[in-house]
Amino acid sequence: MAEVVSVLSRKGGVGKTVTAMFAAAYLAQQGIDVAVLDTDPEGSAGAWARAAGNLPFQVYPEGKQTQAMKHAWVVIDTPPNDPKALGEAARLAGRVIVVAKCNALEADRLIPSLDALAASGFSGPWGILLTQARGGLGREMQAALEQEELPVLGIVPHLVKFERAFGMVPEDLSEYEGVLGGLLK
């Protein structure tokens, strides 16, 4: 049975696909047989894989879940604004990453993602990954979330390399390794 990591957010544009692809690249770099299951109807992870052409892991569309689950690990990239799909992905998962973009507006939009996770009945290890952080806002959001006793995996800064990463083989994994390494061990 595959070890499943689901990457969740009810909000689009927060970095779910980037997180899924970098998490899979990190696991592949550790010598782990990993695949990405792209459950987003937009197919961003699949488009990334086609553009890259030589990823160190397979990317499967939603209809190929059975094939994806034959790998040792599967990272599920979920669609935005679909609580049912988020719940299904959480129920399949042994670990969950909830992605939230660092800005004041996105902080409020984190609540529906946490509600969907709670409604799924998921009870394994999970955490919030703060992405696209600029200045001190990431640290401020982390402190506020931790004050509410919510688990924060860490902060990924806003860097041009992540904006340009689409269609490339993720190679510099330092930011993601630092924040996801503990959850993915």
pLDDT in tens, 101-137: 988 777 778 999 999 999 999 999 999 999 988 888 8
Full DSSP string of 33-96:
-EEEEE--TT-HHHHHHHHHS--SSEEEEGGGHHHHTTSSEEEEEPPTT-HHHHHHHHHH-SEE
What is the model's pLDDT at position 57?
97
What share of the chain in percent tops pLDDT 70? Answer: 99
Q: List pLDDT tens digits, range 61-83.
A: 999 999 999 999 999 999 998 99
Rounded to an integer, what distance in angstroms lies between the CA atom of residue 72 and that of residue 123? Answer: 21
Q: Which of 45-49, 86-90, 179-183 has the lowest mean pLDDT?
A: 179-183
* Beta partners for residue 129, in sequence order: 99, 154
Query: What's the mean per-residue pLDDT of the chain?
Result: 92
What is the model's pLDDT at position 120?
96
Please state the pTM of the whole predicted model. Answer: 0.94
